[in-house]
Amino acid sequence: MKISREIKTAVLVIASILLFIWGYSFLKSKDLFSSYKTFYVEYDNVEGLTKSAPVTLNGLSIGKVSSITINPVTGKLLVELQITTDFPISSTSAATLYEPGLIGGRQIAIEPDFSNKTLALDRQNLKGNVKLSLTSSIQEKLVPLQEKFDKVMVEVDQLLLGVNNILDKKSQENLKNSLSELSQTMVALHATSASASSILNDNKADLKGVITNFKKVSTDFAKISDSINKADLGKTVKSLNKTLAKVDGLMTDLQSGKGSAGKLLKDETLYNNLKATTKEMELLLQDVRLYPTRYINVSVFGKKNKPYVAPVQDSVYVGPVKVSTSKVKN
Structural domain boundaries in the chain: 1-33, 37-131, 234-266, 269-296+311-327
* pLDDT < 70 positions in the chain: 1-3, 24-34, 102, 133-140, 163, 165-168, 228-233, 257-267, 296-330
pLDDT for position 209: 81
pTM for this model (two decimals): 0.37
**One-letter amino acid for residue 322 of the chain:** K
Q: Residue 133's closest CA among 157, 105, 98? A: 98
Report how far residue 311's alpha carbon sits from residue 147's, in angstroms, rounded to the nearest whole number: 132
Cα 234 to the chain's mean position, in Å? Answer: 35
Give the model's pLDDT for residue 54.
Answer: 93
Q: Under a CB-based contact definition with an 8 Å cutoff, are residues 287 and 293 in contact?
A: no
Please give the backbone phi and psi of residue 28, each rounded to the nearest 5 degrees, phi first: -90, 10
Output the pLDDT for position 326: 45
- Give, in degrees to the nearest 5, the angle at Cα 97 between 95 and 102: 150
